[in-house]
Structure 1
Amino acid sequence: MKATYNMQVDIYDFDKTIVPFDSGTLFFVYCMVHYPWCMIILPIVAIAGLLMGLGIIRFTLFKRTCYLFLPLIPKEKAVKKFWDKYIKKVHPWFYDRKRYSIVISASPDFLLGEVAKRLDFDELICTRHNPKTGVIIGENCRGEEKVRRLYEAHKPEDLEIEDVYSDSYRHDKYIFALAKNQCYHIERGEKVPFDYEEVYSK
């Protein structure tokens, strides 16, 4: 299904919104457990994490190191088995969506592509990764980058964004600002409506 002009849409974050966990982090741990030889990259990730903590490198550069293990595993099989285990964690309210759904996430495309098919997302926008090396292509799809990527795919005048769902007031201020109808903050898996002006004028 392809969005048409003046299509009414809802926007969803993915991690800790549609599911109660950070899928990229959980997949990293899953692979370290099921493919233990991947632990060879842990010293590199630890050093990159330290450099990020010290403000020497950006988060995107740190994240580029986290999936260096990808060439060492059967990626498609690992992703399918991961979602076989965790698909049941999807919050039930997501299945009741009525409008065209655009999921915008910082998680990797190679990981969310599978769950997008299973949950029948109308559209997925997420962080692009090299399918062979796992290295991020471009910017991490987070914060203002989510809006930039949305309008890279659509002209602003072509979309009527009704509701926006996310667990993060901090990182998703920019997509919350697009909602014409209602913003929903996800708390313990539940949708909590809020007024954008009240929250962000403080």
Structure 2
Amino acid sequence: MFHRIWAALLYLYGILLDSMYYCPEHSQLTTLGVDGKEFPEPHLGRWYFIAGAAPTREELATFDPVDNIVFNMTTDSAPRHLQLRATIRTKNGLCVPRKWIYYLTDGSTDLRTEGRPDMKTKLFSSSCPGGIMLKEMGQGYQRFLFYNRSPHPPEKCVEEFQFLTSCLDSKAFLLTPKNQGEGLNSYCRRLGLSKSGDAG
């Protein structure tokens, strides 16, 4: 009798542990770009960089000086090209503009970066409202990046991103501090976002 009770308790304990540490699969946005309607339109416009995760801290080192980043995604004049403009506010208050061209991959939402043949970007959905997750891979690094339409998404969204990426062997985590203020000043907007029509 005692052995049966002990076995039942161990079984219940195992179920409890599984539910606590279960790592769910995250669905990738795989075919949205095929018809040219669903992708990339929903992903155009303004995005805020919220957090990053990677297997090692070195793979996130490029973001160490960053206080916050605002991105604006637009279509480029060339077909199947996307233009990404960024205004980076560093921790010491500087504004740094950046611009990339992404090439859409036929039949998927995988992105290639102009001038970076080694780099590949994969898009993942997010259960967080207004959120999206990217996986960047290049020579010697891979990292997950979480973006949101709001500069301050619900805390549970960041927790979900951290939990999910830790399940994917990303032990290093970075959260943008946003200590330089909510908005970008007019100089920063002119540098990075004003021509997009979405700078606000």
Structure with higher Rg: it is 2
What TM-score comes out, normalization by structure 2 length? 0.26
- Bigger share in strand: 2
What TM-score comes out, normalization by structure 1 length? 0.26
